Amino acid sequence: MTIDQAVELHKEHQKTTLKARTLESYRLLLDKFQESFSAREVDSLKAEEILQFLETNTSNLAKSTRHLRYSQLKAFFSFALDLAGSNSQNPCNSSFLSKAFKAASRLQRKILDKETVDELIFNADNLRDRLMLELQARCGLRIGEVLRLKVSDVSTRKLLIREPKSGKEAEVAFMPEHIAQRMGDYISTMNLSPEDRLFKVCYTTARNLVQSLGSKLNLKISPHDLRRHSATYASRNGVPLEIISKVILRHQDLKTTQIYLGKVSDAEAIRWMDSLHEK
């Protein structure tokens, strides 16, 4: 089987398993790979050739993106070699390739504690700003999701999230009762109609709101830090990981959720052990 044939079959296979954004990411890589090696047999390529191709096409990219391109090519070869019935080793499994394109180390972000988040929210100047903050910090919404909400998306304790990051047509998020009540008061006070956006501000304004409130507490924070807090706070209060992942953050993979959960300090570990076993 040639690279040209394998790429086309791989694209057809991916249409049934991947989101549009991931499909486009693969297409950018495999189109270039197809141009370079179209007539070659899939089991004829050597690790040195893969290295040269990746270096040529990823040299100006971030380390995390270089690792992603390597991982995509590795997945492609696993698919192609299996489909061709070849016993050849995946050339991307070479140790020097895995070292050259290893994943970037993740920086552990500081997780905001409840007292800090409470103070941020209570310092909001008006009900609109408070609700925007609470939907992120208490309900786990992304800032983009908050800004796209319409009045018609609000249904008692539920929020309809249109065009979510998952690629689904829609998802549902949930609000605690007190936030749902505040939301009802806000809609009534502002006299909003069903097709009105709840929060008529742009992303820059929403980001500046969070950064400004953070600076008053000598913190450098972003809107996404509030979403992270929602996950960690739930985890520290015994909410199962599956609920945090599927209900609060709406992740497709539990591994993604685990990245959001902050590092447990020694003091906190001891506190949990004492709590579990009654000291």
Where are the chain's structural domains? 3-100, 118-274
Percent of the chain with pLDDT over 90: 63
Q: Count Cβ atoms within 10 A of the Cβ of residue 2 and give its class: 0-12 exposed, 13-18 middle, 19 or more buried.
A: middle
Q: What is the pLDDT of residue 14?
A: 85
What is the spatial distance between Cα 15 and Cα 60, in angstroms, rounded to a whole number? 29
Given this chain, do its domains 3-100 and 118-274 carry the same CATH topology?
no
Report pLDDT digits (tens) over 50-63: 999 999 999 899 88
Q: Please give the residue that has the higher pLDDT: either 260 or 68.
A: 68
Q: Count Cβ atoms within 10 A of the Cβ of residue 145 and give its class: 0-12 exposed, 13-18 middle, 19 or more buried.
A: buried
Q: What is the pLDDT of residue 166?
A: 75
* Residue-averaged pLDDT of the chain: 89
Query: What is the pTM assigned to this prediction?
Result: 0.62
Q: Count Cβ atoms within 10 A of the Cβ of residue 100 and give its class: 0-12 exposed, 13-18 middle, 19 or more buried.
A: middle
Q: What is the pLDDT of residue 246?
A: 87
Residue 161 pLDDT > 60, yes or no?
yes
What is the spatial distance between Cα 28 and Cα 107, in angstroms, rounded to a whole number? 28
CATH class of this structure's domain 3-100: mainly alpha
Residue 172 pLDDT > 80, yes or no?
yes
Mean pLDDT within 69-82:
93
The answer to whether 152 touches 192, Cβ cutoff 8 Å, is no
pLDDT band at 6 (very low <50, low <70, confident <90, very high): very high
Does CATH number 1.10.443.10 belong to domain 118-274?
Answer: yes
Length, in residues, of the chain = 279
Could you tell me which residues are beta bridge partners of residue 159?
Answer: 154, 173
- Torsion angle, CA of 90/92/97/98, rounded to 10 degrees? -90
Mean pLDDT within 33-61:
93
